[in-house]
Chain A
Amino acid sequence: MASLVPKDKRQLRACLICGIVQNHHTFRDMGCPNCEVHVKMARHNDMVTDCTSGTFDGVMAVFQPKKSWVCKFAHVSSYRPGIYASHVSGRIPEDVEDALARAGIAYHPRDGSADD
């Protein structure tokens, strides 16, 4: 799991659902490590474009997500260690949101648009 930290500084994107930050090509080749089960991004470039964003802020390196208060606050404490963004601009398309809801998962936008 050496590639927890994106190697390339350019083309960084953040997943709109879980907030993980990876290179664009990583999303395209391997998808999102947290969300891939529900949102198939690997080899679906349009899904990558729809469900990740290049505009993000609050970059954090997560080592112990369950014990970290910062991670709890940024709602990433249930995910794997890696690089995350506390704030990601944009929302997933409605059909993806519906698909997630059908699977029982509530989507919480990470762009601060929801009432927290």
Chain B
Amino acid sequence: MADVEDMFDDEPAGRRFSSDEEEDESRNLGTRRRRQNSGDEDATARRYDDDDDDDEDEDEDEEDDRDYKKPQAKKGARRKRPRTNNFLDIEATVDTDEEEEEDEDGALGDFIVDNEEELATAEKDALRQRAAARPPVFQDDETLDADAIEAQLRERYSGYVASGGRGTGSQIDADWVPQRLIIPGINDPHLWVSRCSPGKERDIVLAVGRRVLQWASSGKYKGVYSAYTRSGLSGFIYVEARTQADALAALEGIPGVFTSKLTLVPINDMIDVVKVKTHTTRLNPGSWVRVKRGNYAGDLAQVASVIESSDAVEVRLLPRLDYSADGRRDKRARPPQRLFSVEEAQKADSRSLSSRQNEILWKGDRFINGYLHKDMRTVSLQTEDVNPTLEEIALFAAGETGEDGDEQAAIAALASQATKASSALEGIDEANGLTVRDLQPGESVEVVEGDLAGVAGVVRSIDGDVVRVEPELGAQR
């Protein structure tokens, strides 16, 4: 009968399962973790064990274990007798199975045996899932505070993290607690605030950092946990410490800090200090900005494209070029805004002139459709309250349609080829979807906002940002 019993035993995992059950003192998930990690040399799981959990967490876990252990205990006991299954009533079949197995024949016998094993694994999996999915409500204790929740979440989800090659002493956060649960408690250090010279906040944080980290071994600053500042809080420097004396020790002597103004931040205000609100103005292609400094200061510009993972964007400007030879320019007066003129550029300095696809390069600047395209850092652009006036937009858009003027005609010829190329390019580059420039007359569109929402129509013409759409018959109300 030894063969039969082997059949009922699952693969080695099953055997380990039973032995673990007896030895296992820690959390149920620890069992799962151990099984997972048997093949891996990873200290991560063990590290979670070592984490400083509160005592109350241990107690809660014991309770969990008691709950979780029940199905396992049952299974262990059951292993002695012929296996029963929660899903199927096969007790009868079991007996017949044994007889058939002795025949060493019968495809039917094999079939049932295989099913047995699969069902057994499935049953185990289901029990495990049920146990793991048990909601915290079932734990009989009062409200858990943030620390306890964090520890539970961490432990519950720790088994889900595959073992990676984690560096010693540092790891990428595998358990993320949402900020709204991280409320300062009475055991957390206090936050102290001091005034300082505006603009020097970061320098001060760096100076405090250097000082504390340098003297870390001396223990002089062991009461300090962090130093912090934020650009919205100009002139303020924050230090996290248990006592005012500790905070003072960290700050005094650093130039620019007014330690006489050191006060405690009330607990309720602590979150406001650290929480940063995102900039709502995200620069998208097509948005209007104003150049802050330089030759084009104050000029309206349009974002042509956003440069990935950098704080810069490519903007379109009406060029202010001085085509006359250098030296004659009055340093004070700026050249007026005018589209780029190939002829004048040629007259002035033809050697610097070259063209590439639809771009014209002259004196190091890029011109597309007569507009200057420049990469500029976001900080040097005014993105809020740009408020472009009608005149400015009209002036800007005049270049698109290419009206009267000889030079314009020359550009228009270039432009017509350029527009097609650039709109095709933009269609590829566009990360955020189609812009108005991608639309061609004749395309079908649908209105999404406003009282005409839902109306489908055909594009008749495009004029800068405005698209003229002729609604389809029958869609009108």
Contact = CB atoms under 8 A, between A and B. Distances in A.
Interface of A: 1-2, 4-6, 9, 16-18, 33-38, 49-51, 53-55, 57-64, 66-75, 78-83, 86-87, 89-93, 100, 103-106, 108, 111-113, 115-116
Nearest to A100: B172
Contact of B166 (A37, A59, A111): A37
Contacts of B221: 63
Interface in B165-199: 165-167, 169-174, 176, 178-180, 182, 184-185, 188-189, 191
Contacts of B205: 59-61, 83
Contacts of B224: 63-64
A80 B169 contact: yes
B85 interface: no
B206 A62 contact: no
The 6 closest A-B pairs by CB, nearest first: A61-B209, A112-B278, A104-B162, A69-B188, A68-B225, A103-B164
A38 B276 CA distance: 27
Contacts of A106: 173-174, 176
A16 B309 CA distance: 10
Nearest to B188: A69
A63 B206 contact: no
Contacts of B226: 60-64, 68, 70-71
Interface SS of chain B: loop
B227 interface: yes
Most buried by A among B163, B171, B232, B278: B171
Given A17-B172, A57-B230, A73-B182, A81 B213 contact: yes
A5 B176 CA distance: 26
B428 interface: no
Contacts of A2: 214
Given A34-B171, A104-B164, 18 more contacts: A17-B172, A18-B172, A37-B167, A49-B309, A57-B231, A58-B230, A59-B230, A60-B205, A60-B229, A61-B227, A63-B225, A70-B226, A71-B225, A74-B274, A78-B173, A104-B161, A105-B172, A106-B174
A106 to B, nearest CB: 6
A88 to B, nearest CB: 10
Contacts of A6: 206
A5 B180 CA distance: 30
Contacts of B213: 1, 4-5, 61, 63, 81-82
Contact of A112 (B170, B238, B277, B379): B277
B208 interface: yes
B477 to A, nearest CB: 38
B228 A69 contact: no
Contacts of A70: 191, 225-226, 228, 238, 240, 274
B216 interface: yes
Contacts of A16: 309
Most buried by A among B164, B238, B309: B309
B293 interface: no
Contacts of A59: 201-202, 205-206, 228-230
A58 B276 contact: yes
Given A70-B191, A93-B309, A112 B276 contact: yes
Contacts of A108: 173, 176
A62 B276 CA distance: 18
A67 B225 contact: yes
Contacts of A86: 228, 230, 274, 276
Contacts of A79: 170
A60 B18 CA distance: 50
Interface SS of chain A: loop
17 contacts: A5-B210, A51-B309, A58-B230, A60-B226, A61-B212, A62-B226, A63-B216, A64-B225, A70-B191, A70-B225, A71-B226, A73-B179, A103-B162, A105-B164, A105-B173, A112-B276, A115-B178
B174 A49 contact: no
Contacts of B172: 17-18, 34-35, 38, 78, 100, 105
Interface string B338-375: 00000000000000000000000000000000000000
A49 B310 contact: yes
A115 B180 CA distance: 10
Contacts of A35: 172
Nearest to A104: B162
A20 B271 CA distance: 21
A37 B178 contact: no
Contacts of B140: none
A45 B162 CA distance: 29
A113 B277 CA distance: 10
Most buried by A among B213, B275, B277, B310: B213
B378 interface: yes
Contacts of B311: 53-55, 89
B114 interface: no
A105 B184 contact: no
B228 A58 contact: yes
B125 interface: no
Given A73-B179, A73-B182, A58 B274 contact: yes
A40 to B, nearest CB: 12
B203 interface: yes
Contacts of B225: 63-64, 67-71
A53 B307 CA distance: 12
A38 B308 CA distance: 21
A69 B270 contact: yes
